[in-house]
């Protein structure tokens, strides 16, 4: 199989198009991030994922603006996402205007609420308690539904083309979908997803409700541990493609957006090239996580936040 540059797009529930593969930018220094975004845009990517908490919006924005200037390509050909950090949940307009300033952009294509928790505003973006847990505002005082409601006006203001959520499970999505004050449905739910965490029920629920899934940590996050899996390695050898190409192709074959992160030029260029997988291969890879689901990202919130089920508090 010969991997080819992926040009697939999906249509969001707003009617806008989103490219199936986007560059992830978490955990990169300013310089790495600038070079990664610039390399990506020069090599076929039109979709970049960043977030307030990554601390790299300035580098992302500089790379985008330099690329637009040098290439003559218009802004509307790109799809840019950033995320509302949990400590800014009560002031989404202020937070997004600040993100736009850092990005040096007039609007973004998608604004996500980063986690379904609210954390207190403090001098630091992530206040922690004596046990090292991330402090959380009590649910009754402010919660993810209040946050999402407040984000709706950002679309009307033209600051973002769409809004969505991240790290939501089915019960939380149901609460958003059933709330009468919520008029703008999330366009997507960005969650951890890879062959060790295939989340089949969540995919089904989101498909039924026209909410697109975006897969984060598609290679298993730092160090790409998913690529060591024996089943994945055997299938990639059989098809003469890299394990990373297989994991990314699998996500696209399942109809999801996928956001591989890399700061290596070679990997960035490779990660947008995919192959078409048949249904049996998709299922074989899903079996890895059905038998033994494994989550790589589990931040230490100071509340019980179960990402699979609803919980008493969150």
Q: Which residues bind ligand NDP (CB under 6 A)?
A: 24-26, 49, 114, 166-167, 190, 216-224, 227, 244, 259-264, 267, 270-271, 297
Rg for the chain, CA atoms, rounded: 19
Question: What's the DSSP call for residue 135?
Answer: P
Distance CA 102, CA 13 (A): 28
The least distance separating ligand NDP from the CB of residue 271, rounded to whole angstroms, comes to: 5
Indicate the residue among 114 and 134 with the shorter CB distance to ligand NDP. 114
Q: What is the DSSP string of 183-248?
A: -S--SEEEEE-BTTB--HHHHHHHHHTT-EEEEESTT-STT-GGGG-HHHHHHHHHTTS-HHHHHH
Q: Where are the alpha helices (DSSP H) in 105-196?
A: 144-156, 170-178
The least distance separating ligand NDP from the CB of residue 114, rounded to whole angstroms, comes to: 6
Query: Is 114 annotated as ligand-binding?
Result: yes
Neighbours of 174 (CB within 10 A): 14
What are the CB-based long-range contacts (under 8 Å, 24+) for 285-288?
285/195, 285/198, 285/231, 285/232, 285/235, 285/246, 285/247, 285/250, 286/195, 286/198, 286/200, 287/231, 288/195, 288/196, 288/198, 288/229, 288/231, 288/232
The least distance separating ligand NDP from the CB of residue 130, rounded to whole angstroms, comes to: 25
Indicate the residue among 69 and 147 with the shorter CB distance to ligand NDP. 147
Using CB atoms, what's the residue nearest to ligand NDP? 24
Coil/strand/helix, residue 23: strand
Indicate the residue among 88 and 270 with the shorter CB distance to ligand NDP. 270
Coil/strand/helix, residue 265: helix
Quick check: is 34 catalytic?
no
Indicate the residue among 166 and 169 with the shorter CB distance to ligand NDP. 166
The least distance separating ligand NDP from the CB of residue 291, rounded to whole angstroms, comes to: 21
Indicate the residue among 116 and 150 with the shorter CB distance to ligand NDP. 116
The least distance separating ligand NDP from the CB of residue 299, rounded to whole angstroms, comes to: 8
Catalytic residue (one of 54, 111, 148, 216)? 54
Annotated binding site: 114
Annotated binding site for substrate: 114
The residues assigned a catalytic role are 54
């Amino acid at each position: 199989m010969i991997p080819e540059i992926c040009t697939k797009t999906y249509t969001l529930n707003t009617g806008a198009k989103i490219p199936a593969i986007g560059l992830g930018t978490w955990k990169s220094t300013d310089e790495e991030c600038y070079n990664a975004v610039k390399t990506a845009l020069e090599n076929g990517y039109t979709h970049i994922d960043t977030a307030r908490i990554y601390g790299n919006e300035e580098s992302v924005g500089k790379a985008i603006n330099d690329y637009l200037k040098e290439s003559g390509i218009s802004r509307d050909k790109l799809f840019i996402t950033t995320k509302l950090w949990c400590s800014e949940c009560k002031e989404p307009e202020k937070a997004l205007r600040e993100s736009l300033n850092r990005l040096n952009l007039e609007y973004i294509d998608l604004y996500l609420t980063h986690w379904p928790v609210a954390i207190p505003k403090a001098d630091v973006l992530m206040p922690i308690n004596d046990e090292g847990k991330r402090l959380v505002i009590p649910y009754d005082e402010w919660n993810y539904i209040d946050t999402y409601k407040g984000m709706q006006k950002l679309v009307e203001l033209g600051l973002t083309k769409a809004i969505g959520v991240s790290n939501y499970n089915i019960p939380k999505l149901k609460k958003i979908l059933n709330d009468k004050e919520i008029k703008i449905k999330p366009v997507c739910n960005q969650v951890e997803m890879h062959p060790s965490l295939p989340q089949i029920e969540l995919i089904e629920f989101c498909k039924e409700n026209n909410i697109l899934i975006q897969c984060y940590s598609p290679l298993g996050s730092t160090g790409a541990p998913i690529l060591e899996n024996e089943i994945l390695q055997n299938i990639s050898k059989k098809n003469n493609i890299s394990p990373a190409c297989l994991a990314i192709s699998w996500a696209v074959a399942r109809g999801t957006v996928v956001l591989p992160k890399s700061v290596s030029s070679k990997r960035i260029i490779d990660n947008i090239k995919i192959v078409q997988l048949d249904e049996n291969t998709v299922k074989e890879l899903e079996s890895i996580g059905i038998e033994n689901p494994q989550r790589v990202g589990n931040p230490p919130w100071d509340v019980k936040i179960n990402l699979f089920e609803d919980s008493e508090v969150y």
